Amino acid sequence: MDTFFQSIIAFFTLDPSEPISFVGQLVGFIPLLLAFVTFSLSKRSHILISKTLSDLLSAVHFLLLGEVVGGAVCIVNTARGYVFYNKGKKWASGIYIPIVFSILTLLTTILQWKGWYTLLPAVGSVLAVIGFWCNKPRLVKLFNLPAVSLWLVYSIITGSISSTLINIISIISITVSMIIELTKSKQPAKAEADEE
């Protein structure tokens, strides 16, 4: 938690001799903007496009901050997003696809191991693999809620200001979206009960 607060102070008291860190934090604010819309989208394909772009920019963000595990996992996630977007095509529709991306995510983490906290984005990304493989947007969101929560803890530990905010916004967005969907799905049943 201290690293996170130190990062906030460092960001607002920029040391010109550390431009990479500043640019890294700045790049992270682009995925932050995408976080406002990603999980509020109602189509799986739109969620995937927004999330893939967010993952690509998050990879740059984490690599510039020197967080190789986060950057490497985000690179795998970017490739995952592209392949999952093309799930309807023969080359991207085999059941081996989510298994391959889960293994790649775990291997990336093992090869870049920095301690127990590096498991957080790996487990979160494996949950996201399961979620994004699902065709129903509700399941995409359901699996991504714990995934994003694990990334939130990782972001706080690594001092990523934008990623912390992205994950908080994503958690709120997923929760609100699921509540709205549940409310809408119960309304017709209520209307029918009122008619009787």
- Digit-coded pLDDT (tens) for 15-66: 556 666 777 778 888 888 887 788 778 888 888 899 899 999 999 988 988 8
Residue 66: closest CA among 16, 7, 123: 7
> Quick check: is 156 in a domain?
yes
Residue 187 Cα distances to 26, 174, 184, 190, 195, angstroms: 43, 20, 5, 5, 12
Percent over 70 (pLDDT), the chain: 85
194 in any annotated domain: no
Task: Please indicate, yes or no, if residue 193 is contained in any of the structural domains.
Answer: no
Is residue 190 in some structural domain? Answer: no
Arithmetic mean of pLDDT, 68-76: 92
The pLDDT value recorded for residue 195 is 46
Q: How many domains does the chain have?
A: 1
Q: Which domain holds residue 85?
A: 2-181
Query: What's the average model confidence in pLDDT over 150-159?
Result: 91
Report which DSSP code applies to 20.
Answer: H
User: Using CA atoms, how far apart are residues 141 and 147, in angstroms rounded to an integer?
Assistant: 10
Is residue 143 in some structural domain? yes
